[in-house]
Amino acid sequence: MIAGVLLAAGAGTRFGGGKLLHPLPDGTPLGVAALRNLTAVLNEVIAVVRPGDRALERLLAHEGIKVVQCRDAIHGMGHSLAAGVAAEQDAHGWVIALGDMPRIRPDTIRAVANALEQGAAAVVPVWAGQRGHPIGFGRRFRNELLSLTGDVGARSILAAHTSVLRRLEVDDPGILQDLDTRADAQQLARSPRI
């Protein structure tokens, strides 16, 4: 079983707060859109939120998935990632997605999950020569994922294991499109979904 982990515990300070609640042009909250891309493909999905983010927690839970609070989310993405893996630590692998990336195609998520199911140790999608998200990790990285801290996420794991990292070419510019600011959201609203 490959589990999806949606990292949705950031404060969104560059956005001015409330980033994952921000409505996309069709009215869907940003975090819900990113979540739906995962749930379209994976049966087990966990979302990680920060304590006190009740509105987001309710919205995500309403989608029928498990939501966990990461009490150390304020200390960085590594803590949130570890909390998500801990919530589904018996999985055979994890597809780690970011809550502010609503344009990743479900087919890309499926390809990452399939690569893990076929034995890849770690998978990263690549579009136009650039690595993006979501990132897949096989079970062999469970302990390393569980011990993550700080704000660098899983970059240290990827850097230490480049020899087993599978680069998966995809036709999906959404793997690079995250929304950090309100200007990013406005640009996304103006650009057609490719």
pLDDT at 98: 96
In whole angstroms, what is the distance from residue 191 CA to residue 162 CA? 34
Residue 97 sits at φ, ψ, to 5 deg, of -120, 155
Closest to 143 measured CA to CA, from 180, 89, 194: 89
Which of 50, 40, 65, 45 is CA-nearest to residue 20? 50
Rounded mean pLDDT, 46-60: 96
Q: Which of 12-16, 91-95, 116-120 has the least mean pLDDT?
A: 12-16
The pLDDT tens digits of the residues spanning 95-125 come to 999 999 999 999 999 999 999 999 999 999 9
User: What pLDDT score does 194 carry?
Assistant: 46
Average pLDDT in the chain: 92
Question: pLDDT (tens digit, 9 = 90+) per residue, 132-151?
Answer: 999 999 999 999 999 999 88
> With contact defined as beta carbons under 8 Å apart, do 64 and 102 qualify?
no
Instruction: Choose among 135, 110, 104, 109: nearest CA to 121.
Output: 135
Q: Say if residue 193's pLDDT is above 70.
A: no
pLDDT computed for residue 45 by the predictor: 98
Residue type, position 52, single letter: G
Could you give all domains of the chain from N- to C-terminal order, each with its CATH number?
A: 2-190 (3.90.550.10)
- Give me the percent of the chain exceeding a pLDDT of 90: 76
Contact 57, 137 (CB under 8 A): no
